Each structure stands twice: as structure tokens, then as C-alpha cells.
Chain A
Amino acid sequence: MILLVLLLILFVAALLSWIVAAKSNLLCRWIALGSLLINLVIVLVIWVNHTTTADRWWYNFRVDWIPHFGISLHLAMDGLSLLMVALTFFLGALSVLISWKEIDKRVGFFHFNLLFVLCGITGVFLTMDLFLFYFFWEMMLIPMYFLIGIWGHERREYAANKFFLFTQAGGLLMLLAILGLYFVHGANTHVYTFDYFDLLNTPMEPGTARWLMLGFLIAFLVKVPAVPFHTWLPDAHTEASTAGSVVLAGLLLKTGAYGILRFVLPLFPAAAVEIAPLAMLLGVIGILYGAMLAYAQTDFKRLIAYTSVSHMGFVLLGAFAFNEIAYQGVVMQMITHGISTGALFIIAGALYERIHTRNLKQMGGLWTRLPLMGSAVMIFVMGSLGLPGLGNFIAEFLVLLGSWQANQWLTVFATIGLVVATAYSLRIMQKVFFGPCDRQYTLPDLNMREMVIIVALVIVIFWLGFHPQPVLNTSQNINYVVR
């Protein structure tokens, strides 16, 4: 029930903030922020109360929706869902805060879309019915399309269309695969159901499993994104408003990774093992290729966008390593990447508000004027290159340690990714904050609101770096497929 409440709070707040905005923008912002904070508190309370729960599933809520077709409103939460949902509300709340000044047009509709996309993401992380999953999966898409297309930068329409087409194409394949699985299960067991738990261990031919698995996998690979399906990402991330970029990088990409962990591996274990070397190879290609593209960029946000391609490669590498260490690393990577990349996008946005450019060639020497902002970027850049002490290191180390047991050569190349990550990460610092400053800016450093956002992110990334055990304990309870 509490899971339904989480969704309802967001849904109601979405509608409410839209309505209220006609009267007061400020109230609309507070409603959005309040709803997300309430949800965050609820989730944290759940977490604290379940640190010692031995059961894998903490909550399980199921009511029939369309019983005739075996469709139900089935929500459940285990450690993985909890972590993802907590991340959603945390980054969601920050997204409202960063839009406080940046968004001044159609404020109500913006917050409606923002809360709606967060509601869709939350649904994706909580639902255990494949029909409902597809419903939420599509539900994320439309408001995100608006978030990019209405409040974005210069080429926002192109980016929004591209984003929509890519994810929609992937989603279609997934729909086919879901239906295929539904009918295969029905034919073999005479029970027609979309329920996740019933569909686990569906008996099927290896050939069938392979095709169905591919349908799911491609949809998720587009979202993750894996090379060669990644090209929607740089455009979408670059053109979206700051909040849009944060939600995209921090949360939407994670739904792809989550889908692989939750559906691809448990539903089709044998077929997943078969394709593992290829998937891991795609991961490594993503790590190196994304890093190389990032190195060449001159647009600050585009650079950060490509680092996402690189970092999410680790997720793919670890997810198909089939051992617990790598899985734990993957979950960690999903969280830390959300935090650190989100932070970088936030700062890029804050910088854009001040100097009205994203072009790295027009920046330089800003440390003198913006030492606080520079320090913050330094921290998250160090996270992105995998410095121990920050959460990203824990994630990448565990992924590599785990994937080493599965495939050594690919791990060697993935480890080389740490060197190229150093190259592009340090390039950010050099281009933006170091070097001579040839312009006379009068720039205000981070203000109070921005400080609150950044400090929250900094605390989390250090906490995950020095004491990741609560997260690791929560994610270890998940009964992954282990070869």
C-alpha cells in the first residue's frame, strides 16, 4: 500500500502544481519540492526499518486490474528497488531546486511534467507486472519529450524528436517481447499472466528465449545507452534544461540498467549467459569510445553527456559478469553515476546562467572568480575519473574486480578506461577553471540555494566513497542470477 502511496503523492502533486501555478509559481515549486521530500523521507524510513530484514521482498502489493488478461496492479520493493527509488526522489528534489530560477516560462506545466516523469520512473522501479511495467515505461517518455522540447536550448526540438524515436523504437521491441513471453507462458502452462513472479522460470525453447531476451535487451541497451544505440543521448542531454539533463542522466539511464538486472537476467538466464561476452564487449566499447568522444567535445554539457556513455559501459560490463561482486558494483555505479553526473550537469547549468555559454573555448581561468564552484567540479571530476574516497571508485572497482573473474581481457581494456577517463576529466578542469582568464567577468559564486544542492551531493558522494556498506548490504540481498 505504501508503494501505491508513493506513486499517488507524485501523481496528485503533479496535477496540483499545474493547477496552482495559475495563481502562484512559488506555491507550485513548493508543492513539487514538498511532495518529493515527503517521498524521500518515506523511503528513507523504510530503508532504516529494513536494514536487518532477511526477506528479499519488503513490500508486495497486488490488486487485479484486468483479470481477464492476467493484468494486475502489482507493486513490490526489494533492496534494488528501494535504492533506485531513493535516488529518484533525491535527484527529483534537487531538480526542483535547480529549476527554481532557471525555469520561468510555463512553470506549472514544467513541474507537472517533471513530477509525471518521476512518477513514471518510480513506477518502473516498483512494478512487478510486465504490462504495468510497459505502461510506466511509456509514461516516462511523453513528459520527458516535453521537458526537452519546451524548456531546452537551441536545438531542443531535434533532440526531443531523436530521443523519442530511439526510445520508442526500443520500447516497441520490448512490447513485442512482453507479448511473446505472455503467449509462450500461456501456451506452455495454460496460465495467461503478465505477473513477473509467474513469468520467472517460464519453460521455453532456447531459440524462443533468445529472441524474447533480445527484445528486452535492445530496449534496455538503448536506454542505458550502449554503443551503438547511444547517439540520442548527447543531443538530449545537451539540449535539455538542467533539470531535464539531471533526470535523464541520473534516472532515465538507470531504468535501462535496472531493466537488465530485473528482467533480462532473471527471465532468460540461459540466453543471457550466451550473449554475455557480446554484451560485455559492448560495455567495454562504450567505456573507451564514450571516453574518446568526451575528450573531443567543446560543449560542456555534451562532454558530460559522453562521459555518461563511458560510465554506463561499466554497468553493462558488470551486469553480464554473473557474479555478486560485479552486481554490487553495478548497483553502486548506477547510484554514484547518478550523483556525480547529475552534479556536473547542475554546475554546468549554473555556469551557463552566469556566462551564457556552454562553449569550453570561451571559458578558462574561472577559479579566481568561482572558487567554490571550481572546488565542487574538482570533487565530481575526481569522482568521474574514479578516485578512491568517492563513491564512483567503489562502484568501478567492484565491477572490475567482478568482471575480472568472468572475462580477463575485456577487464584489462575496461581498466584502461580509467586512464582515458583521467584525460577527459582533467580536461574539464583545465578548460573551465584553470589557465588564463582573458575576460573581465563579474561573476557571483554559488549562492545559498546552489550551495545546499551541491553540499547535499558532495556529502552523498563522500559517504558512498567512505562508507558504502549500507548500500552494499541493501543490494546484496537481491537474488541475482549467479553463474
Chain B
Amino acid sequence: MLPALIPVIPFLSAFILMLGWKQLSRAAVAVIGCGSIALSAAVAIGIAAQFAANGEQAIQQHVWTWLQAGGFRAGVDFRMDALSVVFVLVITIVGFLIHVYAAGYMHDEPDYSRFFACMNLFVGAMLVLVMADNLLLLYFGWEGVGLCSYLLIGFWYKDPANGYAARKAFIVTRVGDTAMGIALFMLFQYTGTLHIQNILESATQLWSKGDPTITLIALLLLGGAVGKSAQLPLQTWLPDAMAGPTPVSALIHAATMVTAGVYLIARTHTLFELAPAAQTTTAVIGAITLVLAGFSALVQTDIKRVLAYSTVSQIGYMFLALGCGAWSAAVFHFVTHAFFKALLFMGAGAIIVALHHEQDMFKMGGLKKQLRAVYWVFLIGSASLAAIPFVTAGFYSKDQIIWLSWSAAGGHVGFWLAALLGALLTGMYTFRMFFLVFYGDIKTKVHHRPGNSMMIPLYILAVLSTVAGFIELPHTLGHVTLFSNWLLPVLPAVTVLQESAILEWTSQGLSALLALSGIGLAYAWVVIHPKGMVDFLEMPAILWFRGFWARGWDFDKLYDVLLVRPYVYLSRINKRDLVDKLYTGLAQLMQWCHHMLARTQSGLLRWYILGVVLGAVAILSVLIWRIYI
């Protein structure tokens, strides 16, 4: 089967949906919209099966030569290796489930067709991104994802706030794209190609480890990655991206967009290995982001914002893993995260719809009885996010990262401590949300229950959020390495410096303990002792921190003051273009001279005679001066 079909089918369907926005019935839109992703998932599964059976390195397909100019060549070429297969499967399968859910969720939306066209386009662009064989095609997908996020975050265009969030997402990620663009120029300058495999091959010959050039290139690529993956310092767009419909959030956070950065770094891992400084930077960014975002998630009131900050934090874990050289651990966490985050977002969406578009958790409560099905799947998702030991997928993937952040070659005890702190925070903010929503008094009445098209995807994801963990178990617990073995042809195994079972047990025990105590703390505060919590939170010092964290550590303000406002101010005062003043000034000077000269044309004979006399005197004086002196 042809790999190109995988992205082409969603593109085609998006095209049909755009053209048929008037003619197609709702049912037809839903069938085309979901069916295309299902078809593409089926092709992806077929190729994955073929891939697994044949044991090939990669399946390649050249579709056409995109452009060729003066020694530069880039084709529309697809390549599927083990890494791409993992991403493609997650994107199409989770993407499909989100589409099915969306068919129910968006049922009353008048712009049904536009919505599904954009969603399909989003999936298609992401698929191109992970299947591209050269960096230019990857960049195509990369920017396409940016466009679709813009279109979908601002889907409800009548509210200017949504438009603002959409533009913010596009512009902030574009800052990162600029860095990435420069990285592409540099790679072409040194390697003469943008073909990924050729670059990876020639990189090891061109550069020695730690060479400043490759370090710069890797840092620029990292710049692109932090933009799309919402990591420090470009994380600010993601919390605002909640403005879009909830299925869009699920798609952005789980299947597409934010994981693009993780993919990019994993894909170019050879370059990062050559640049230890860049790799360490990646880990540091991941570690700091996961903690900062964890604190921010802790104090949100909007359920979707909690989840948004938790995504930032969880991707921080992935970056930490990448930075430590634990490539497959990062990808593993991407997979489990995709399952449970899609589950949580869509669960949250079900709650929001049930409560008549209420997103404030403090106006929810006591939903356990009223939304029993949602309660259970949300519990499974939350447990996986908080990494409750042994039974959740999140535990296995996150635990691996925590252990490797210390023991791997690129690890450090500081990273390990940050990761552990993150585990505590994750437990706390996840279950603070969970308890606030499902326990306590009923504050808002449920007015309509989610239907099957919304619930079935949630059940499937709940299963996946649990069983997906068992494909990769640590040494201490069964030692299954199906997942890392699968990735081994692409991503090298992590170098572990401390092969100590006792230490690993300690790390695992500690992280489990911290996650559970986070949950315990959340329970104590929200359920057992809500009054005490309120008193504590109203203390002035705490209040300040709450505000500070809730505003995302004031990064928005910082950028606003440093960049946005000066730019807007400068452009406003220069609206009429200073340079033009030069020319209008010149014109005015001419006019002034003209007026002055015109004045001498007064028609008064006396003045003319005076002029003649004065002129004659002046000329004569000059002559006399010349001759006699």
C-alpha cells in the first residue's frame, strides 16, 4: 500500500467538505469527515502490519519533485520508518476517535462542514509532518499545522477574544518557525541538501561532537520545537488556545500540533547528539517548563486550562527525556499522553456540554452520580495522568522518564528532582480538578447527557490509557521492551550510567509515593477540608502566588511590555510614514519659495523700479569691486 494515501485522504476529504459546504447534509459531512480519517487509519495500520512483518528499515515513496533550483532539490517524498509509524498510528487512531466525538459534540453547529474540513486538514498536515522525507516537506506540514490551529482556535469567529487567541497561537509558533527556517538554511549551506537521512548521515562526518556550528543548528531546531510544543519561552499560546471548540483542544493536545516539536527532535536526534550543549538545553527547558506549568495548573479555575497547563507540563517531561538522550522514553510518553489527554479533554468536553457550557470548576461539583459514565472514564484518564502505579499507562511512561532523567548519560540529579516535583504537582492538580468536578455539592444541574458518539470514543481511550503501558515495562517490573525494540532501528537505546536495581526501585517508589501524596493532598483539601483550603488560599502571600501562577508566571505581561506594545506603539505613531514627510517637506519648501517669488509680482511699479535700481547697484558694485580692488 502507498504511504502517500495516509495524508492524501484527509486532504481530499477536506477539499470535498470545503467545496460542498452548502450542498452536503450534516450526516454526509460527518461520514466524510470521520470516514476519511478512519480510512487513513486503516491504511496506516495496513502499512504498519506490513512493516512489522517484513522487518524493513523504511517504506519510501516519491510522489513528485516539488522544486529544484540551483542545486537545491526537494521532493514530495514520504518515508515511513519505525518512528513515523508510531506517530502516524497515534495521529490517525486518536484523531479518528476525536472526529467521531466531534460529530456528536458539534452537532448543533451551523458551520459543521467548515469545522470538519479544518479538522481533516489539521490531521493531514500533521501526517505530512511526520512522514516527510525532507525538511522542506516537514516544514510544509509544520506550517500547515500552524494554519489549522489558527483556523480552529478562532473557529467561533464572532468573539474577538477567540480571534485574538488564534492569532496569538499562529504568531507565537511562527517565532519558533523562524528559528527553524534559519536552521534549514544552515543545514543546506553545510550539507547541500534538506533530505533528512542524508543530513543525518553526513552530519557525523561533517561535525565533531560539540562543534559550535552544529550546536547552533540544534539550538535553532530546538527553537522551532519549543514554539510548536509550547515549551519555555514560547509556551504562552497554548493556554489561550482553549478558545477553540473542545474537540479541537483534544486534537491539538493529543494527536497533533504540540507533539510536533517532540517529533522534530527525535527525528533529528543525531544532530542533537552531536551538540551536547543543545541537548542539555533541551533537558533544562523541559525540566523548568514541567515545574512552572505544574504550578500554573494547580491554581486554574477553568477545567480546560488545567488540562492545557498539564499538557505543557507533560510535554516538558518529553523534552526532559529527549534532552537526557532517552529518545524512546520520550516517544513512549507521547503515546500514552495522547491517549489519556484526549480522554481527559473529551471527558471535560462532555462535562462542559452537560452543564450548558460551564467551564469553571468551582461551579461544578457532585457530578459523580449524575454523569456516572463520564466519571469512570475521567477517573481512568486522571489516574493515568497522575501516574498511579501499576495499573495506568501514564505510570510506566512517566516513571521511565523520571528514572532516566537521573541515570541516563545526559541526566542529572537536578533533572530528577524537578521530575519528582512534577510528579507531586501532577497528582495534586489532576485530582484537585477531579474532586472539584465530581465530589462535593451539586452546583450546576446537568441538562443533557452525552450521547453514544461522544461516549464510545471515551471508552476506547480509557482502555488504551490503561493497557498501552504494558508494552514497555521497567527492569524492576517484568522488563518488557516491545516499544523501545520497535524504535531501535531509528532511535538508539539510552545509555544508562547507573544500572542499579535498588536505585531504580527507590526512584519508582518515590515517584509513586509523591504522585499518591499529591492525590492525597488534593483529597484532603478539596473533599475533607474545603474550608481550611479556602482560609489557606485567601492568605495574602498565597493569594499573590496564586494570581502569579494563574497568569502563567506573567510571561504574557513580559512579552506584552517588551515586544508587543512597543511594536504596536511604534507602528501607530508612524502610521503616516515619517519618510513621506521628507518628500512632503520638500514639496512644501518648493511651495514656500513659490509664494515668496510670487509676492514680488505685486504689480506695483515702484517696487519693480526699486528692484531694478537695487539690482543695478549690486551689479555695479561687484564690477567696481572686481576692477579696482
Binding site for B on A (CB under 8 A): 162, 227-228, 230-231, 234, 292-293, 295-298, 323-325, 327-329, 365, 367-368, 371, 375, 382, 387-389, 393-394, 397-398, 400-402, 404-405, 411-412, 415-416, 418-420, 422-423, 426-427, 430, 433-437, 466-469, 472, 476
B472 contacts the other chain (CB 8 A): no
By beta carbon, the residue of chain A nearest B22 is A371
Top 8 nearest A-B pairs by Cβ distance? A324-B70, A404-B185, A434-B157, A388-B140, A296-B571, A231-B580, A296-B575, A325-B70
Q: Which residues of B contact A368 (CB under 8 A)?
A: 158
In the complex, are the beta carbons of B70 and A476 less than 8 A apart?
yes
B interface SS class? helix
A-B contact pairs, 26 of them (CB 8 A): A292-B570, A293-B577, A295-B567, A365-B157, A365-B158, A388-B143, A389-B140, A398-B69, A398-B72, A401-B72, A405-B189, A415-B181, A418-B174, A419-B174, A422-B170, A422-B174, A426-B171, A434-B160, A435-B158, A435-B160, A435-B163, A436-B158, A437-B158, A467-B64, A469-B68, A472-B68
What's the Cα separation between A423 and B170 when bound, in Å? 9
In the complex, are the beta carbons of B579 and A227 less than 8 A apart?
yes
B21 contacts the other chain (CB 8 A): yes
B188 contacts the other chain (CB 8 A): yes
What's the Cα separation between A304 and B271 when bound, in Å? 41
In the complex, are the beta carbons of A419 and B178 less than 8 A apart?
yes
B147 contacts the other chain (CB 8 A): yes
In the complex, are the beta carbons of A415 and B182 less than 8 A apart?
yes
The smallest C-beta distance from B243 to any residue of chain A, in angstroms, reads 12
Q: Which residues of B contact A292 (CB under 8 A)?
A: 567, 570-571, 574
What's the Cα separation between A436 and B575 when bound, in Å? 25
| Interface membership of chain B positions 124-155, coded 1 if the CB is closer than 8 angstroms to chain A and 0 otherwise | 00000000000010011001100100100010
In the complex, are the beta carbons of B144 and A388 less than 8 A apart?
yes
B592 contacts the other chain (CB 8 A): no
Most chain A beta-carbon contacts within 10 A, residue among B67, B139, B163: B67
B398 contacts the other chain (CB 8 A): no
In the complex, are the beta carbons of B144 and A389 less than 8 A apart?
yes
In the complex, are the beta carbons of A435 and B157 less than 8 A apart?
yes
Q: How many of B's residues come within 8 Å of A, CB to CB?
A: 51
In the complex, are the beta carbons of A293 and B167 less than 8 A apart?
no
Name B333-350 residues within 8 Å CB distance of A.
none
Most chain A beta-carbon contacts within 10 A, residue among B143, B181, B575: B181
A324-B66 contact in complex given A365-B158, A419-B171, C-beta closer than 8 Å: no
Name A469's contact: one of B67, B136, B143, B157 (CB within 8 Å).
B67
B177 contacts the other chain (CB 8 A): yes
The smallest C-beta distance from A273 to any residue of chain B, in angstroms, reads 18
Q: Which residues of A contact B174 (CB under 8 A)?
A: 418-419, 422
Most chain A beta-carbon contacts within 10 A, residue among B71, B72, B166, B189: B72
The smallest C-beta distance from B384 to any residue of chain A, in angstroms, reads 36
In the complex, are the beta carbons of B21 and A371 less than 8 A apart?
yes
Q: Which residues of A contact B628 (CB under 8 A)?
A: none
By beta carbon, the residue of chain A nearest B570 is A292
What's the Cα separation between A416 and B175 when bound, in Å? 8
A228-B582 contact in complex given A402-B70, A415-B178, A472-B68, C-beta closer than 8 Å: yes
B65 contacts the other chain (CB 8 A): yes
What's the Cα separation between A293 and B181 when bound, in Å? 24
A325-B140 contact in complex given A418-B177, A469-B65, C-beta closer than 8 Å: no
Q: Which residues of A contact B577 (CB under 8 A)?
A: 231, 234, 293
